[in-house]
Amino acid sequence: MNTLRKRLLGFAALALLMVATSCERESGEAKVEPPQADEQEPAGGRNTMPGLAHGLLQSPINILSNRSEAGHHEIAVNLHHAEPEYLANKGHTIELDFPRGSTIAFDGREYELKQLHFHTPSEHQIDGITYPMELHVVNSIEPKTPDEPPRYLVLAFLYRMGDEDSFIASFLSQVPTGEGLAALEPRQVHVTVVDQAMDFHFYHYRGSLTTPPFTETVEWMIAKEIQQASPEQVRRINQIEGDNARHVQPLYGRAVD
Ligand SMILES: [Zn+2]
């Protein structure tokens, strides 16, 4: 058992103990199951639901640049259809959906490029700084059995206020007012950050989806290079989707590389 795993189990026991203590205080006589460290369970292999105790791999996090470790991961982008074909106003976010057929490989494992969406303000922090906006490019591997959760690879790009972003400009005026879906013209929207993903430098850690069911099977890659969007673009996106960033979650000894 390596040191990180030991540390994680230590934190797991501590966290469960803390939950147990606070439950008892609230209900007086609550019986709480003793913490059980399951050696067989793969790290991040469980689903968690809102309202239930979360695991120890939740996202987003505050990334401390001077504590991130040196790491090396291979990203290979294999784009057949880099242009999204649908644009959705989902009420809580703006989402662009890719047609099937493109993949991004992370350390040799192939994830299918699915969709991208926005958060205002950013969910991840770098050295305690929240940025005005964050873009998530979601890739996934569908499970082979129903009880297995999907696995995700999310590329995240933080935006600061600056020049207008041409990728955002190419679709923003077409976002449906109210919840709904709009078709995009072929090759109308070109997602430059996906195309050039291999040129970026990333922070990496293992975490969760930041929306229900908060599944803890996500390889997170957060680009170190900060993107720019105009204040009008950020304001418009925020107007449509509202403040939709989840609070930062505890690291519980996880390494960021
Ligand atoms: Zn997201």
Cα of 213 vs centre of ligand 1, distance in Å, is: 12
Q: pLDDT category, 23, cuts 50, 70, 90?
A: very low
Q: What is the mean pLDDT of residues 65-86?
A: 90
Quote the pLDDT of residue 28.
36
196 contact partners, CB below 8 Å, separation of at least 6: none
Q: pLDDT category, 226, cuts 50, 70, 90?
A: very high
Peptide bond into 213 cis (omega under 30): yes
Q: Which CATH superfamily is domain 44-241 in?
A: Alpha carbonic anhydrase (3.10.200.10)
Query: For ligand 1, a single-atom ion, which residues have Cβ within 5 Å?
Result: 136
Quote the pLDDT of residue 53.
55
Tokens of 162: 């600056």
Whole-number Å distance between alpha carbons of 175 and 189: 13
Whole-number Å distance between alpha carbons of 13 and 22: 14
Cα of 119 vs centre of ligand 1, distance in Å, is: 6
Among 92, 119, 201, 204, the one annotated catalytic: 92
**Measured at the alpha carbon of residue 230, what is the angle toward residues 228 and 232, in degrees to the nearest 5?**
150
Q: Is the pLDDT of residue 186 over 60?
A: yes
**Stated pTM of the model:** 0.79
Cα of 247 vs centre of ligand 1, distance in Å, is: 12
**Where exactly are the structural domains of the chain?**
1-40, 44-241
Cα of 142 vs centre of ligand 1, distance in Å, is: 18
92 is catalytic: yes
DSSP secondary structure string, 5-21? HHHHHHHHHHHHHHHHH
Cα of 83 vs centre of ligand 1, distance in Å, is: 19
